[in-house]
Structure 1
Amino acid sequence: MTTYNGSAVAMDPIMSQANQSRRAGPHAALLPCLPQVSTNAGGGAGAARTPLRALFWNTGDSASLAPIADARTVPVLLHGLGDGADIWRPVLDHWPGQAPPIMALDLPGHGGSGRLPEDKYRVPEIARVIAAALHHLRLERVVLIGHSVGAGIALHLAGSGLMRPHGTILIERSAEAVEQADAAVAKHVDGLIVGATDLDRLITYVRSQLPLADARATTEAITALARQADTGWHLPIDPAVKRLLDRSANGDGEWALLKAVQGPVAIVRGQYSSFLPLTIAERMAAMARSPVTVETITRSGHAISLEQPAALAACLARQIARFHGNC
């Protein structure tokens, strides 16, 4: 057990065991409970609060998180609706070369993070929680990387003035609502909450929903994400997180936020994605005032981290290097 800025840190046994069989790869520490942070700006008495679970990769051979604070920049990974920090494990497995210290968070209502009052599941509220957590860890120079809803949160952080990241990578997030796609996500989240009688059946269910998914990547991620309950295996998700799909409650429109982002931006999409068509991605790039690149990951749809984890890892590493070049 180690402490970092007063927070207890414990080794993540799943990743630690996996790394024992590999010559090189991500080394993870688990921060099971950040000091509770308020979900309103005032933080007054009675404010809703939530602990956040975080995974840290490449922080050395011990549980010390000093490399996070000392790093030139720290990529911060924000997952999509119904996932968790563990969804990034296959991507980190394939990171090209020497990966920097990296942090991934369970968003509120997911995995090991706390739940919020139902009316607090809005992108601006979640963004304030994330900003407070990063400030607590003294992370001022970060690259925000978000997938789907996580990308919406990253965009709000970068475009609303809560943060000025070194760069922002938006994966599979359309600035326009795609109602049919959002409905499919809500249905998928319901299936993950209900779960299955055993872990194998849960993995089979996820693979049935994601026909392009890599079998090994899916097994690794779902094994880490799933929890066993009396009735079987499921993903620990607050059903109320589906309120995050209601963009009318999310404050400034994402087109306006794109105009306000300072610093370089990358937009990443899957070749077969119905969530982010290329035409919308190109319009988003034209709208932003910051330098923007658009990358399409071939042979993938929306769930790129499970479908093409190696290609996504290479893309993220390439964009982070580009951000450094823009310094």
Structure 2
Amino acid sequence: MPASSSIAFIGLHYWAGSGRAFNAVAHLLAPDYPFRAPDLPGFGGAAPSEVSSYTVDAYADAVAAFIIGQKLKRYVLVGHSMGGKIALDLAARQPAGLAGVALLSPSPPTPEPMTDEDRTSSVKAYGKPAEAEKTFRTITARPLPKAMHQQIVQDNLRSSRPAWEAWLLHGSRENLSARMCDVQVPCLILAGDQDAIMSPSVHGLETLPLLPEGTPLEIISGAGHLLPYEAPEEVAALLRRFAERLETA
């Protein structure tokens, strides 16, 4: 596609991550498609006070304000994990300029499948380097460079406690399913077949039936939960094809 493409991508990162998770994908899509990935409130370098609460709606409000500030006329939301639920919340509002939604290993619009034991242990893991390393090993399947490994762990440890706990105890449990009929733009789901957090079957059962008819579920072989880190080439290629279809629709 030419550099004058009218579509930009907005990346919404995973819980305990940051916008820099999309750096490799953004590089692969440049210069054809601008890619902007803000740090969501409470994570990365964002100030914890940027929202009054850490509900999914509050996050969607923050993303909507970011998009207005960027003066984007046409864009695709790229929601990864927690960011996927936020993307669907915003898409259901049918905001001006929204062309499509791409979901990477998304938290479903229904309550996220997680046992009470896992929630409790995750709450207790806050701010502990050893637990951040354990999480890294759980959510990745492909080997990653040392610098990338360190970045993922660092992002985990610089999360704010209110945002950390709010997602585990409340946000991930929110049920948006009744609003998914208002998502009227083309959608795409990408999942890793080695994802130990959200298996492809979760997307097929909990998310896909609530999206527009014909939404594809693309499986990336050998990848875990952190698709933007583990499979940037595959993710970028699928996003490019998705945008090209939107451009010609």
Q: TM-score, normalised by structure 2?
A: 0.80
- CA separation of 1:209 and 1:309: change in aligned 2, threshold 3 A: same
Give the aligned partner of residue 167 of structure 2.
244
- CA separation of 1:261 and 1:210: change in aligned 2, threshold 3 A: closer
- CA separation of 1:80 and 1:261: change in aligned 2, threshold 3 A: same
Alpha-carbon separation, structure 2, partners of 1:190 and 1:91: 32
- CA separation of 1:118 and 1:124: change in aligned 2, threshold 3 A: closer
**Which one of the candidate residues 33, 40, 57 is aligned to 1:100?**
33
Task: Check conservation: 1:111, 1:225, Cα contact below 8 A.
Answer: no
Shift of 1:82: 0.1
Give the aligned partner of residue 318 of structure 1.
241
Q: Which has the higher contact order (CA 8 A, sep 6+)?
A: 2
Match runs of 1:96-245 below 5 Å:
98-116=31-49, 120-163=53-96, 165-173=98-106, 174-180=108-114, 184=118, 187=121, 191=125, 193-195=127-129, 207-216=136-145, 219-220=147-148, 222-223=150-151, 226=154, 235-241=157-163, 242-245=165-168
Give the aligned partner of residue 9 of structure 1.
none
Partner of 2:194: helix, strand, or coil?
Answer: coil
2:25 maps to amino acid? V
Task: Check conservation: 2:126, 2:157, Cα contact below 8 A.
Answer: yes
**Which one of the candidate residues 84, 87, 90 is aligned to 2:24?**
90
Partner of 2:48: helix, strand, or coil?
Answer: coil
Task: Check conservation: 1:90, 1:220, Cα contact below 8 A.
Answer: no
Partner of 2:216: helix, strand, or coil?
Answer: strand
1:88 maps to amino acid? F
Shift of 1:312: 2.0
1:235 maps to amino acid? L
Task: Check conservation: 1:77, 1:103, Cα contact below 8 A.
Answer: yes
2:144 maps to amino acid? A
Shift of 1:183: 6.4
Task: Check conservation: 2:56, 2:85, Cα contact below 8 A.
Answer: yes
Structure 1: tracts of 5 or more residues without a match = 1-66, 228-233
Give the aligned partner of residue 194 of structure 2.
272
- CA separation of 1:189 and 1:142: change in aligned 2, threshold 3 A: farther
- CA separation of 1:307 and 1:285: change in aligned 2, threshold 3 A: same
Task: Check conservation: 1:89, 1:220, Cα contact below 8 A.
Answer: no
Deviation readout 1:263-302 (Å, 9 max, x if unpaired)? 1000111113354444443343333236411111111222
Higher helix share: 2
Give the aligned partner of residue 76 of structure 1.
10
Deviation readout 1:172-224 (Å, 9 max, x if unpaired)? 1223334437965875686573336xxxx97x6564334514322x6236338
User: Root-mean-square deviation (CA), in Å?
Assistant: 3.3
Give the aligned partner of residue 47 of structure 1.
none
Alpha-carbon separation, structure 1, partners of 2:138 and 2:198: 18
Question: Aligned pair count?
Answer: 243
- CA separation of 1:137 and 1:185: change in aligned 2, threshold 3 A: farther
1:322 maps to amino acid? R
Alpha-carbon separation, structure 2, partners of 1:77 and 1:97: 14
Indicate the percent of aligned positions where both proteins have the same amino acid: 22
Higher strand share: 1
Structure 2: tracts of 5 or more residues without a match = none
Shift of 1:71: 5.0
Give the aligned partner of residue 182 of structure 2.
260
Task: Check conservation: 2:17, 2:152, Cα contact below 8 A.
Answer: no
Alpha-carbon separation, structure 1, partners of 2:57 and 2:243: 25
**Bigger Rg, structure 1 or 2:** 1
Shift of 1:257: 3.0
Q: TM-score, normalised by structure 1?
A: 0.63
Alpha-carbon separation, structure 2, partners of 1:160 and 1:99: 28
Partner of 1:243: helix, strand, or coil?
Answer: helix
1:282 maps to amino acid? G
